[in-house]
Structure 1
Amino acid sequence: MTLLEVRNLRVTYPGGVAAVRGVDLSLAAGQKIGVAGESGCGKSTLALALLRLLPPDTRVTGEILLNGEDVLTMRWGRVRAVRWAGASIVFQGAMHSLNPVHRVGDQIAEPVLLHQKATAAQARVRVGELLEQAGLPASRATAYPHELSGGQRQRVMIAMALACSPQLIIADEPTTALDVMIQAQILSLLQRLVTDQGLGLIMISHDLAVLADICDRLVVMYAGRVIEEGPARAVHENALHPYGKALSASFPHLGDPASRFAPRGLAGDPPDPSELPSGCAFHPRCPEALAGCATDDQPLRDAGQGRRAACVHVPAPTVGTATEDTQGRAAPAGDTRSAP
């Protein structure tokens, strides 16, 4: 069952700054999708747009269908309910998201009291259950944010996100500020919660290796567009787009001395959304660019096996070979659909 369907989503900030340009995304219940890319590629803007958390003067067009209901056309009262009961978000940097003068238990209880109309006693019981689900003892409900470690605060944020039993969790780089061991624990917790409760998960990160470990599918964004998508492990280990290759190669691979001593990076930065280059937005940094890349933008091309990439070098799938659709299911042989 399709939980979330994003169709031709475009987000433009005041001044004509195109932060998201025609993104399509589909997520089934129980599925985990990773969204990767450098800072400035539109990942967080995409996440905020899904729950209408962008500034009011931002122009958002397209469709965001959550269980078939368009978030962009909902009344504000309905949006408030959906933000907790339908989908919730876990931000990076929990210390900036939690109120420092309120106990964490009270902050978790607030959406339970407001949206589930629970009594104070029922809310206290629910807070204890949520903290234990997130790997913390119920007694930590009386703590203030500054009394908790970074990993514990992030667990509080996850408990808060689960408060009203949402069907979708959006995690926007939830482990960026954590050390490696705590990061692994938080990622394992998210993975277990999604599996046990059948939730949908959109995980945003710049680290392809992390996403490949926990996600079913991987979406790579650049300059506000999806430029590659497919099974997470395949995209990480054998990216089709030069940008995906550069992202994967920028991290050293364990057991590979060549990558450990000489990791390959990518010169330059993503383009300013207000001054996008002509043609393929990646061509000024692309080591494989052709002359036509400077003038001709590339649509997502079906590459078979559930993979698509927006690059002139992407080969067409072999005719007669079974492919997979964007959900990873087997599609009829010879299916060569292209992106709209």
Structure 2
Amino acid sequence: MSLLTIRDLHITYGAGPTAVPAVRGVDLTVDPGRKLGIAGESGCGKSTLALAMLRLLPATARLSGEILLDGEDVLTMKWGRLRAVRWAGASIVFQGAMHSLNAVHRVGDQIAEPLLVHRQASAAAARKRVGALLEQVGLPPSRASAYPHELSGGQRQRVMIAMALACDPRLIVADEPTTALDVMIQAQILRLLERLVTEQDISLVMISHDLAVLADTCDRLAVMYAGRIVEEGPARDVYDAARHPYGRALSAAFPRIGDPASRLAPRGLPGDPPDPAALPPGCTFHPRCPSALETCRSEDPPLVQAAPGHRAACVLTPGSPA
């Protein structure tokens, strides 16, 4: 059985005629011990989807569909059960650790908090566990006494990962965990996440705008555009041979080491994702799509199989009803 199953998830902000659709009919699964990457430009709904997995969205959000964690629907859990699931069943690593950590508390106390609340650990046991967690993420236990501003960006991100691991969750959701880090530290954090999920048999959902990072880190990759999944499949297949024009554009936007063509003529994608409050009719990508057909202006194609285990939502995909 899949550890995480998302079925027909819709998320809107506000209500009535002014409601803004942020996520539109998403279906995804994550098996135990596997790593799923979710890619897309800013404004495509990635972070909204990540926060929904643990029901962390504001009260203005309206959700329908199912988010099944170990068979239980997160959207219908009572608050007591939801509080128990957070940290212990699934945890999240937010982007921007400096903004996520409490500036007036030592990092060791912040890592210990879920242990004290969810595990009812004694103060001595919590301190011992904090030291072990810091060593696990490559920091000396003595850094537990530091305040967030006394740590570098990479060290703060390691603290966030240690906190996420505190109660031995089965699923970690990492929302842009390497944002604002330099490339060397980014590589260290990514290798750390990979090692930890492999050693502890944890499932990982990783959110990023960087398709290359996700392809190198994850088993499967989903590409979001305007709140929808437009492509999903094995990570290297999506990166190397995307079947949706948007997936190809994302892949081509990053120069590849050793490829003179991509280095000398990097390609981008003109324009911006549509305003969720004013989505175009038909395929929402058609105003920016270099391969758009007339039918794309009126028909929004469903996800269909483009290759074994690989789906794409494009009228040019073999097998598409359009």
Common fold, TM-score beyond 0.5?
A: yes
1:2 alignment partner, SS class: coil
Residue matched to 1:115: 118
Deviation per CA, 1:81-110, whole angstroms, max 9, x where unpaired? 111101000011100000111100000001
Counterpart mapping for 1:314-329 below 5 A: 314-316=317-319
Cα distance in structure 1, aligned partners of 2:314 and 2:29: 21
Cα distance in structure 1, aligned partners of 2:60 and 2:247: 33
Task: Report the alpha carbon displacement of residue 283 of structure 1 after superposing the two structures with TM.
Answer: 0.3
TM-score where L is the length of structure 2 = 0.97
Contact 1:105–1:142 (CA under 8 A) maintained in structure 2: yes
Residue matched to 2:74: 71
Is 1:126 aligned with 2:133? no
Task: Report the alpha carbon displacement of residue 78 of structure 1 after superposing the two structures with TM.
Answer: 1.0
Residue matched to 2:220: 217
Percent of aligned pairs sharing the same letter: 74
TM-score where L is the length of structure 1 = 0.92
Task: Report the alpha carbon displacement of residue 294 of structure 1 after superposing the two structures with TM.
Answer: 0.2
Amino acid aligned to 1:201: L
Residue matched to 1:12: 12
Q: 2:179 aligns with which of 176, 180, 205?
A: 176
Task: Report the alpha carbon displacement of residue 57 of structure 1 after superposing the two structures with TM.
Answer: 2.1
Is 1:245 aligned with 2:212? no
Counterpart mapping for 1:220-235 below 5 A: 220-235=223-238
Cα distance in structure 2, aligned partners of 1:48 and 1:272: 20
Amino acid aligned to 1:51: L
Deviation per CA, 1:193-237, whole angstroms, max 9, x where unpaired? 110111110000011110010100000000000000000001001
Amino acid aligned to 1:205: S
Residue matched to 1:166: 169
Cα distance in structure 2, aligned partners of 1:149 and 1:54: 29
Q: 1:51 aligns with which of 29, 48, 54?
A: 54
Cα distance in structure 2, aligned partners of 1:13 and 1:184: 35
Residue matched to 2:36: 33
Task: Report the alpha carbon displacement of residue 132 of structure 1 after superposing the two structures with TM.
Answer: 0.8
Deviation per CA, 1:147-172, whole angstroms, max 9, x where unpaired? 11100000000000011111000000
Q: 2:92 aligns with which of 81, 89, 110?
A: 89
Contact 1:304–1:316 (CA under 8 A) maintained in structure 2: no
2:237 alignment partner, SS class: helix
Residue matched to 2:64: 61
Cα distance in structure 1, aligned partners of 2:174 and 2:272: 24
Any runs of at least 4 consecutive aligned residues in structure 1 with deviations exceeding 6 A, and if so which?
none
Q: Structure 1: state its 5+ residue gaps.
A: 318-337
Task: Report the alpha carbon displacement of residue 304 of structure 1 after superposing the two structures with TM.
Answer: 2.2
Contact 1:18–1:224 (CA under 8 A) maintained in structure 2: yes
1:229 alignment partner, SS class: strand
2:305 alignment partner, SS class: strand
Task: Report the alpha carbon displacement of residue 58 of structure 1 after superposing the two structures with TM.
Answer: 1.0
2:278 alignment partner, SS class: coil
Cα distance in structure 2, aligned partners of 1:136 and 1:263: 38
Task: Report the alpha carbon displacement of residue 137 of structure 1 after superposing the two structures with TM.
Answer: 0.9
Cα distance in structure 2, aligned partners of 1:177 and 1:287: 31
Is 1:100 aligned with 2:138? no
1:121 alignment partner, SS class: helix
Q: 2:239 aligns with which of 227, 236, 241?
A: 236
Amino acid aligned to 2:5: E
Q: Structure 2: state its 5+ residue gaps.
A: none
Cα distance in structure 2, aligned partners of 1:283 and 1:118: 55
Cα distance in structure 1, aligned partners of 2:234 and 2:258: 23
Cα distance in structure 2, aligned partners of 1:28 and 1:55: 28
Amino acid aligned to 1:21: R
